[in-house]
Every structure is written in C-alpha cells, then in structure tokens.
Structure 1
Amino acid sequence: MATLPFKDTSLPSREEIARRWALAKEPCPDDARGPRLKLLLREFLWPLEPLRRRLRERLEIAPARHPKTVMLLPGFGAHPIRMRWMARRLEEAGHVAKRWGLGYNLGATADRFERVEKRLVALHGRHGEPIVLIGWSLGGVMARELAKKHPDKVAKVVTMGSPFSGSPRANNGWRAYQAIAGHRVDEPEIDTVVAEKPPVETVAIWSPCDGVVHPRSACGKPGERDRTVAVRCSHMGLVMTNEAMAAVLAELDRG
C-alpha cells in the first residue's frame, strides 16, 4: 500500500511568507525613530565583550543579602544561552537563576505568553515564593505583562533595554519583529496597555548608548516604572558587561 509523502506543516506557506514580508516593508506611520546608525553598527561588536571584561576592572560579586529566585527572559531573537553569563553571576552571588523554558524568543505571541505564564506559575509553586523577573529587551516587556497578570507571584520586575514606553517603533528592530512574529508591534496578540506599570516594584535599566532601542523607550516616564538605572553599554552589552551586571545585583539586594 502506497503511503502519502510527509508534509512538514511547520513551514510557512507562500501566502504566509508574503504576508510577513509585507509587514516588514510597511512604512513607519509615525515619527518614531530608533537610535542612530552609528550606535546600531557598534552593536555588531558584541563578540568582543568577553575580551573587554577581562581587560577592565574585575567584577567583585559579594554574597547576596537577600537571595532570590530569578527567571531570566531573553530578548527578541535571542536564546537563553545569551543570558548564561548573567545567570552564572547571579548563582555566584547566591541567587537561584532559572531560564524561561521556551528557547528562542521569536515574539510576544499569545501562545508564547501562555507558555511562559505556565512557567512562572510552576516556578512559584516549586519554590514557594514570589519570583524576580529579569527581562532583556522584549523579554522585559513580557516580564511586565506577567507581573500585571500575576502580581502575587512576582516579587520585582527588572527590565534591561526594554521598549515599554512611547512608540513601539522607536527602535531598530520593529520591521524584523513584524516579519518573524507575524503581527504588528502596535497590535499585540494579548490585551494590554504596554506602558502601564505593573502593580509590583518595577525597575528599568537603560543605556544612552543603546543602538537597538531608543533610550526614552527603555527608560520610560514617571508612573510607567518605579525607578530607573542608567548604564553605559550597548544593547547587547546589557547582558554581557560588568557594569550592567553590577546594576542587576544591586537591584536584587535592595529592600
């Protein structure tokens, strides 16, 4: 008996590819602009960050005064392995660092948010305490939404270069996002007001040297976050530099 050839339904159809390509080519409907091209080009130097860390002053990691369970949420297009150096430093200080459990972050789709939501609930149940969410770029936007929905399970939100304020197109990655995630950046698949502050302590770490997300979007306005911390590094360096790491450790020891 002949068998039908296997059809890989995971591959997008031509119509879907065309739709996503059209999303990527859309004109910017507002006056929002990402960081300057010079800053964007410097982002491609991120493979040199480990060498720079060795040449600069060593990061001194003191034992955590308040050890916490932390979930790390990667940025758009990034795998959790990109936050592994940060996770190791957190563990070295005495915190418990957990991945978000979803692999690559390919957009804040309804399905992906539902799965990371289940991950948060599971971690909370396993550790018996509210979880600190540290989100890099898009991961921080998702962390804020998790805290809005589960404030009893989140101790604090720390965003790192996350575009939660102002126009969702005030960055140099919104076209790629629309092509990969399959929806417009200003039409999220979950019902939310992105700039609205979660009902838990919310800290925004941002950089004036960010080449991907506009500093104003990552810093936010009063009322959209509780506190801000400025560091001088690239967007990629937010999870790879001693300065940013020191800022995260200091936030975990507050309060």
Structure 2
Amino acid sequence: MKTAVDRSAPPSQLLLALEVRGIWELQAFFASYPLLRRAPRGDGHPVLVLPGLSASDISTRPLRAYLKAQGYAVHGWKLGPNRGPRPGVEAAMDARLAELAERYQRKVSLIGWSLGGVFAREIARRTPELVRQVITLGSPFANEPKASNAWRLYEALSERRVDDWPDRDTMKLPPPVPSTAIYSRTDGIVSWWGCREQHADRTQNIEVEGSHCGLGHNPAVLYAIADRLALPEDAWSPFDRSGLRGLVYPDPDRTEDSPSLFWPRASAA
C-alpha cells in the first residue's frame, strides 16, 4: 500500500512557523553581499519587480538594491500594497511595463515574488513583445486555489473568492517568453508543487533551501536571479548547477513525494 502526499493542501503549521527563517535569510544576505557581488554583471536593461500579496515595494528593496549594483535599471511597481487583482491593477501594471520599455527602448525583465510572479506571467502573456524574461519566486501559478496558508488573506484583501480567478488552466502554461521558477520545498506559505514551471524549451525550475518570506533576499535566490538576468537576450540557456553549485541548489527533478511532518497524506492506493 502506498500513501501519497495531498498536493491540494497548504503547507503544514510547522512549516508556517518556520517562516521566521526569513529574518535569518536577510542577515545572510548582508553577510554574503561581497560574494554576491561576484555574480554575473548586468547589461543595463530594465527590470520590473512585483511584490507579493499584502506587500509593497518596501519588501523588494534589498533585491532591487542588489540588482541595481549589478548593473540593471531596476524599478518597483509603484502601486502600493499588493491587494490582488482588484479593478485597474492589471491595466496599471501593463502601463508601467509599457512606460519602462519606451523609456529604455529595450525589453523589460519581470521578477515577481509570490502573487507578484503570477501577475508577471500574465503580463508576459498579454504583451510578450515587451518582455525579455520572467522570473518567479515562490509563485503559486499552478496550485490548487486553497493550497496556501494565505488564501483567506487573499480573499480579504482582493474582495474576491480565491477560486474565482479566470483561466486557471491557462495560468499553468508557460508564458511565451523565457521563464524561470525559483521555489523552496520548505515554503511555509504556498504549496511548492504549484510553483514549478512546466518543462519546455525556455523554461527552468531552480530549487533553493529557505522560507517563502525570505525568497526576496535569500542569497542563493539572488545569485540565481543575477545568473538568469545576465543571459544574452537571444541566447537562453539552462541554469548550471554542476560542481559546488549542486550543494546549494538541489536537483529540482528528484523524486520525494512521501508524507512527513511537513506534508499531509492524501489517499491510500
């Protein structure tokens, strides 16, 4: 008899409690900053960073400061706290993207943390001609609606049901631009299974160790972002986790799908 994990369930309360790791990951960011500066340098192209649910541009300051130092023209979304897909939000994000593309006369890379990554993928789907690539950080674009410990907060802030998002099947498909999904299997907010990109010619999954709340300043995440942004616009290639990198970046395709203290049982077969 084999017992599977319930992938439609949110992370365990233990993992939720371990989100306090985000504070330690911020300390690790400052401690490792000299090493992070040795990551691939940028070519000056514009980067738009979208925050997660209930968060604002304040939450992405460490990430944006780092990428600016690496040589990118980095910008926040300037829409205040992310309260979900409320009226006018999608149009405002599209306008922000168009303004940056026009200002720099170059395609824009999109980085989205959690719900911000869901938005980033849909922006790229609407206007792929303006987007260079998409990078998501713990973004549940392929999750079941309630496979999250934040679904009630989502409903309260957005004033809509979590399962009312249209075209959920389309959301699971890769956007028509290069796309990288960065996630953690010990994410305490959203189920990691729904944060992974489907395998395709220009998609990539990068797994890191850490919390959901620390993804925007986790040193391993920032290095991976710098590596992806430094790719030439017309020469995409997979992330190289060979050698010592394999100690920091686990194999995202390894098979570990058994119940534990972190994940509930689904059904017996």
Q: Distance in 2 between matches of 1:85 and 1:40?
A: 23
Q: Distance in 2 between matches of 1:237 and 1:31?
A: 22
Secondary structure at the counterpart of residue 215 of structure 2: helix
Match of 2:90 among 94, 113, 129: 113
- How many residue pairs end up in the alignment? 226
Alignment partner, residue 76 of structure 2 = 99
Cα 1:66–1:211 change in 2 (3 A) is same
Q: 2:151 aligned with 1:174, yes or no? A: yes
Report deviation, 1:51. 2.7
Which position in structure 1 is the counterpart of 2:209? 232
In the alignment, which residue of structure 1 is the partner of 2:260?
none
User: Which residue of 2 is the match for residue 39 of structure 1?
Assistant: 15
Equivalent pair of 1:108/1:189 in contact (CA under 8 Å): no
Distance 1:76 1:66, change over 3 A: same
Q: Distance in 1 between matches of 2:86 and 2:211?
A: 26
Whole-angstrom distance in 2 between the partners of 1:56 and 1:198: 33
Q: CA deviation at 1:57?
A: 7.9
Range 213-222 or range 238-247, more displaced: 213-222
Contact 1:76/1:107 (CA < 8 Å) preserved in 2?
yes
CA distance in 2, matches of 1:83, 1:57: 16
Please list, as runs of the form range in 1=range in 2, the aligned pairs for 1:1-255 lying within 5 A after superposition.
32-54=8-30, 58-62=34-38, 64-188=41-165, 193-223=170-200, 226-255=203-232
Displacement of 1:236 after TM fit? 1.0
RMSD, aligned CA = 2.3
- SS at 2:164 equivalent: coil
Question: Secondary structure of the equivalent of 2:96?
Answer: helix
Percent pairwise identity:
33
Tell me how far 1:194 sits from its aligned partner: 1.5
Deviation at 1:131, TM superposition (A): 0.3
State the structure with more CA Rg: 1
Secondary structure in 1 matching 2:80: coil
User: Relative to structure 2, which stretch is displaced further, 139-148 or 218-227?
Assistant: 218-227
Cα distance in 2 between the residues matched to 1:109 and 1:223: 31
TM-score (norm 1): 0.81
Deviation at 1:55? 5.1
> How many angstroms does 1:58 deviate by?
4.5
* Closer, same or farther: CA 93–228 of 1 in aligned 2, 3 Å: same
Q: 1:175 to 1:111 in 2, by over 3 A?
A: same
Tell me the CA shift for residue 46 of structure 1: 2.6
What stretches of structure 1 of length at least 5 have no aligned partner? 1-29
Tell me: CA distance 1:238–1:34, structure 2 relative to 1, closer, same or farther (3 Å). Answer: same
Q: Once the 2 structures are TM-superposed, how far is the Cα of residue 103 of structure 1 from its aligned partner?
A: 1.1
Distance in 1 of aligned mates of 2:79 and 2:167: 18
Kept in 2: contact 1:109–1:189 (CA 8 A): no
C-alpha deviation, 1:48, in angstroms: 3.7
* TM-score of the superposed pair, with normalisation by structure 2: 0.77
The one-letter code sitting in structure 2 at the alignment partner of 1:44 is V
Q: Which runs of 5+ in 2 are unaligned?
A: 1-5, 233-269
Distance 1:224 1:154 in 2: 17
RCO comparison, higher one (Cα < 8 Å, 6+) = 2
Equivalents in 1 of 2:148, 2:136: separation in Å?
Answer: 16
SS for the counterpart of 1:81 is helix
Give the letter aligned to residue 98 of structure 2: V
Structure 2 residue identity aligned to 1:236 = C
